[in-house]
Structure 1
Amino acid sequence: MTAPLILHYAPDNASLCVRLALEEMRLPYRAVLVDRAKGAQRLPAYLALNPNGLIPVLETPQGPLFETGAILLWLADTQGALMPAPHDPARAHALQWLIWLSNTLHPAQRMLFYPDQYTSGDTGALRATTRQRLITQFDLLENARYANWLDAVTPTAQACYLAPLLRWPALYGGPTDWFDLARWPRLSHFARRFEARPAARRAALAEGLGRTPFSAPTPCNPSEGSAI
């Protein structure tokens, strides 16, 4: 990198996926709080970086990047880490799951957490339907072929994306008794293995996520900002 990276983040938000990747790569970066309690993500200065008003943004030598999946892919390709190289036969399935996390699992969780953004009607009914959709998606991932990254010791961009997605349903989006990670042994094992990595421990410490942030989450207690 020819210039320092700047991660615009809020604790326990999608920026956590990017922070995990940065920590795994041991890249120098500066974390700048987007204070959600003050609506900082909707202020002109932040909208100039991400017109969607969503977190995260990563400022890079090529300019600001938004969209979690795009940032992870850019980091992987520029650093030659966390993803197979473009001509590696394993690249196709790695991309497949990164995009699935970005386009399918993550949006479903946003629908659970922010139902009023998706309907002007019965948010309770939407949440109930979304919980069932998420159970189906976790079932799919638990039993997926060509998802060897779930069982691998080496970290991947997909792993950095998935770990927070296993955390949030246990904490946010109304009643959480529907979500028990033990229902999915493969995913539960993944969460325990991933959170034991030094990079994950550093990220958890930075955002106040506790000792078991992915396998047995507790509410975050950040030193600055708030998750919601």
Structure 2
Amino acid sequence: MTLRLHYAPDNASLCVRLALEELRLDYDTVLVDRRANAQRAPAYLALNPHGMIPVLETDEGPIFETAAILLWLADRHRDRAALMPAPDAPERGRTLAWLFWLSNTLHPALRMLFYGGEHIAPEMVFALHERTAQRTLDMLDRLETAAPALGGWLGAEQPSALDCYLAPMLRWCALYPESGTGWFDLSRWPQLRDGLERFEARPSARAAIRAEGLGAHPFTAPRPPQPPEGSAT
């Protein structure tokens, strides 16, 4: 079957779209209308019982969780582009560790930053935002320090699964929540910024810009999306 990406504009599905485009794979898209809460509809929950975006339908069944989809794509389509080291490559373990750090550590922190009201009482949201923003700065400082050891698997000319995951998350830091983005300044991490600059010039990023209305510089100078369909929030 043709791969089918269930997506919402400028959501975690963007990470998967970038990987699909880097691999030059044929795929269809199905809009998940967040304004209609379509991710909670029975048909969508049959694909992902957790009601989260994205889902990638494959001939082996639906796959959910962004890192799982990226790893599946990387391993199944190594003939098209190397998004991850080969299973027997010496750098495989280190790269996997950082991929799952993006998924298990950085991404959940951003969800707390952007959706504080889902995690804590309203009167405590500001304090949660302040503490989580500082934690996120510390996390990104550690990633900046680790970047040279990742060699060609972060910020290189050929993007990896790590780049596909990280670039949208750094974009969101500059945009959300609309009332509190002053804590984030991409220039603090020059290596990460250089990688984003290379990435947004790629055909994969150009395709995402067209599909989701992300603007000319979606990662280094983000602006709110103007998608041709659906809503980012």
Question: TM-score, normalised to structure 1's length?
Answer: 0.96
Partner of 2:93: 92
CA distances 1:72-106 after superposition (whole Å, capped 9, x unpaired): 00001111231111111121111011111101111
CA distances 1:16-71 after superposition (whole Å, capped 9, x unpaired): 00000000000000011000011000111111111111100000111001000000
Partner of 1:167: 171
Whole-angstrom CA distance in 2 between matches of 1:58 and 1:150: 24
Partner of 1:119: 120
Unaligned runs of 5+ in 1: none
CA distances 1:138-178 after superposition (whole Å, capped 9, x unpaired): 11111115222234211211110011011001111231111
Partner of 1:140: 142
For the pair 1:210 / 2:215, whether they are aligned, the reply is yes
Partner of 1:34: 32
Matches within 5 A, 1:1-228: 3-80=1-78, 81-120=82-121, 122-144=124-146, 145-148=148-151, 149-173=153-177, 174-228=179-233
- Preserved CA contact (<8 Å) 1:166 1:191: no
CA distances 1:184-228 after superposition (whole Å, capped 9, x unpaired): 111111111110111111112110000100001000000000000
Unaligned runs of 5+ in 2: none
- Preserved CA contact (<8 Å) 2:154 2:160: no
Whole-angstrom CA distance in 1 between matches of 2:114 and 2:42: 25
Whole-angstrom CA distance in 2 between matches of 1:112 and 1:19: 24
Whole-angstrom CA distance in 2 between matches of 1:151 and 1:83: 13
Whole-angstrom CA distance in 2 between matches of 1:147 and 1:104: 18
The AA in structure 1 aligned to 2:44 is Y
> 1:210 aligns to what SS in structure 2?
coil
Q: How many correspondences in the alignment?
A: 226
> 1:143 aligns to what SS in structure 2?
helix
The AA in structure 2 aligned to 1:98 is L
The AA in structure 2 aligned to 1:86 is P
Whole-angstrom CA distance in 2 between matches of 1:141 and 1:209: 25
Identity of aligned residues (%): 62
Larger displacement relative to structure 2 (83-92 or 33-42): 83-92
> 1:147 aligns to what SS in structure 2?
helix
- Preserved CA contact (<8 Å) 1:35 1:225: yes
Q: 1:123 to 1:17 in 2, by over 3 A?
A: same
The AA in structure 2 aligned to 1:6 is R
Whole-angstrom CA distance in 2 between matches of 1:227 and 1:208: 10
Whole-angstrom CA distance in 2 between matches of 1:134 and 1:88: 30
Whole-angstrom CA distance in 1 between matches of 2:115 and 2:44: 21
